[in-house]
A and B are shown apart, each in its own frame.
Chain A
Amino acid sequence: MTTLTQTFKVPESIKKGSKFSFCPGCDHGVAVRLVAEVLDELNLRENTIAVASIGCSVTLYDFLEVDSLEAPHGRALAEATGIKRARPDKFVFTYQGDGDFASIGMAESMHCALRGENVTAICINNTTYGMTGGQLGPTTLLGQVTTTSPTGRNVEYYGYPVKIAEHVALCDGTAYSARVSLDTVPNIKKAKAAIKKACEIQLKGLGFSFVEILSTCPTNWRMSPQQAHNRVREEMMPVFKPGVYKDITEKEL
């Protein structure tokens, strides 16, 4: 009889018996699982304080077996700053959507990066406000039809979408800024590597680390999960190009 090796298991940092509240096919679930896997691998579960934000990411504390706090809309990084300064021994990360990070929380997020706070931020970019019904968000692509831009986003009226990872990379306090995608299995593995790197940078105390994750919103895009992944590849990735935009540890090599 051959021996079996387990190649996949539910991460220990996921609460026992919890079920994700996300829509079918939403990549949020993958992102939460990747965070949990990284927490397991770096053995951080008992030493972590997570800051959840407003949006589809709001119930993060229901899924992760870590201490967590809920921040007011957009203020997750302001709250994380306070936590990290009061308890510098703790590992502090935020988990936010693009509307939370880059719209209402733009000031808090960018100034956190500029101050070079030693925290990790994870931002899910799905080009819309998913939880409230698919309104136009800061990252909505030009021409994209949402409930508040029924004729598509046009430059004259709404302006351009924000490229978060590039903006964060321009801040001097940022140690690591990357954009990853979850559309294929190889990209999921790259996303996990980026999240792990961001966490390690905080553990080394090098400064602000940031990962933007391109995700899907099949419900509000009115697509099947498979079509939504095609949209990520064909429409989102040419505009929001995946890659590492800043990594101060590379210079040391």
Chain B
Amino acid sequence: MSHIVIDKERCKGCYLCIDECPKKLLKVGKDVNSLGVHLVEFCDPNHECLGCAMCATRCPDMAIKEVYRG
């Protein structure tokens, strides 16, 4: 099952990844990290993630640190 792994402490909340996801699986979440940033949340109830890594390619801070396709 394709999925991504988010490094919570690296996310700075620029939300560039949200626009990039072709399936719109990313959204602004409720959790905050030590910077006080509302973290990006990966929400994929129907297993739509393609594992295309476009979000990770876009992320300037490597907060999306791993992407798996399968």
Q: Besides A5-B68, A6-B66, A19-B10, 15 other CB < 8 A contacts?
A: A6-B68, A7-B68, A8-B56, A8-B64, A8-B65, A14-B62, A19-B9, A20-B10, A20-B60, A29-B59, A30-B57, A185-B57, A189-B57, A218-B14, A229-B16
Cα(A5)–Cα(B50), bound, Å: 12
Name B68's contact: one of A4, A19, A29, A226 (CB within 8 Å). A4
Q: Are B69 and A20 in contact (CB under 8 A)?
A: no
Known pairs A7-B69, A226-B19; A28 contacts B51 (CB<8 A): no
Contact with A along B5-34 (1 / 0, CB 8 A): 000011011111001100000000000000
Contacting residues, chain A, for B37 (C-beta < 8 A):
24
Contacting residues, chain A, for B56 (C-beta < 8 A):
7-8
A188 at the B interface (CB under 8 A): yes
Cα(A230)–Cα(B33), bound, Å: 28
Name B58's contact: one of A19, A20, A26, A185 (CB within 8 Å). A185
Q: Are B66 and A225 in contact (CB under 8 A)?
A: no
Most buried by A among B1, B62, B70: B62
Q: Are A226 and B16 in contact (CB under 8 A)?
A: yes
Please give the residue numbers on chain A whose beta carbons come within 8 Å of chain B beta carbons, in ascending order. Answer: 2-10, 14, 19-20, 22-30, 33, 185, 188-189, 218, 225-226, 229
Contacting residues, chain A, for B51 (C-beta < 8 A):
5, 7
Interface residues on chain B, number (Cβ under 8 Å): 30
Contacting residues, chain A, for B59 (C-beta < 8 A):
29
Most buried by A among B1, B20, B52, B57: B57
B43 at the A interface (CB under 8 A): no
Cα(A218)–Cα(B15), bound, Å: 13
> Chain A nearest CB: distance from B29 CB in Å?
16
